[in-house]
Structure 1
């Protein structure tokens, strides 16, 4: 296995903007780092669970993957448009109530996030299983990939925390930009 290619793939996929990372940034912006961390914990556990599911069901999923991907694209796109709309219509003049940024919302988002689903279904069979089939090695790989994802999520929490004052000052413009990025990500699923 080419460890460099594997790490580059994992880092690029997990650290680049996507629905989860944008949602984390929005949560920091609107509800603070503590709520964003709660969301991040849910997202991380779901991310690891998706890796485990991918590992355990890889051979079965390969036969039905086109059907799963189409369903995930449809559900994920609509959910991302819904999130974009919620971010856009958020009333910036009223104080916000902590309704978002929960462990549950972070957890569920991962199962509806096509970027995460595609990544978790491809990384193990592409990089790990062709070279390693021993359960301890595969398990360590799943743990390592989950930690990389967690580090990516934490980076977005830190980014949001560092720039919180700026983001608060330009709240409506930031919400519009995040909504547009999320809508763009939803559209890109179909390209």
Structure 2
């Protein structure tokens, strides 16, 4: 097993901008580190759970992979557009806005985030299962990958915390830019970009 390739793949996929990371950055900017960590914990637990599901049910999932990916693209795109709308219209003077950045929303986001679902369904069978098939060994890799994912989320929390003053000074512009990134993510996830190219 090429551990270097495995680690590079895990780090690049988890740390690059995606819906979860953008929401984490927005949460730090608008409601602070504590609220972002609550969201991050939910996202991390769901990330680990998806890895466990992948490791245990990989064979069955591969048989229905095209159908699952199609459904996830639709649900994921709609949810990402909803998050973009929420970020764009965000008014931090209203305390009810904090309800969108909860442990539960972080947890649920992972199940409709096609980037995460695709990653968790492919990393174990692509990098680990060709060399290790014992369930206990697979769970060790699940733990390692979950820690890498948590580290990626924390990177976005730290980035938001360090640049919070700047981000708050330009809050409306930052929210619009983050919402546009989410809209872009939704377009990519939906497959519309591929249809336009083809």
TM-score by length of 1: 0.97
- Matched residues in 2 for 1:88 and 1:20: separation? 16
Q: What's 1:50 paired with? A: 50
Q: What's 2:23 paired with? A: 23
- Matched residues in 2 for 1:140 and 1:55: separation? 11
Q: What's 2:36 paired with? A: 36
In the TM superposition, what are the counterparts of 1:64-143 in structure 2 within 5 Å?
64-91=64-91, 94-97=93-96, 98-143=98-143
Contact 1:14 1:149 in 2 (8 A): yes
- Matched residues in 1 for 2:59 and 2:137: separation? 18
- Matched residues in 2 for 1:76 and 1:95: separation? 27
Q: What's 1:168 paired with? A: 168
- 3-state SS, counterpart of residue 187 of structure 1: helix
Q: What's 2:151 paired with? A: 151
Q: Deviations over 1:100-157 (max 9, x none)?
A: 2211000000000000000000000000001001222211100000000000000000
- 3-state SS, counterpart of residue 75 of structure 1: helix
- Matched residues in 2 for 1:37 and 1:25: separation? 11
Shift of 1:96: 4.6
Task: Figure out how many residues of one structure are paired with residues of the other and give that number.
Answer: 190
- Matched residues in 2 for 1:36 and 1:152: separation? 13
The answer to whether 1:8 aligns with 2:8 is yes
- Matched residues in 1 for 2:31 and 2:91: separation? 13
- 3-state SS, counterpart of residue 99 of structure 1: helix
- Matched residues in 1 for 2:134 and 2:61: separation? 20
- Matched residues in 2 for 1:31 and 1:124: separation? 35
Q: What RMSD over aligned residues (CA atoms) do the two structures have, in Å?
A: 1.0
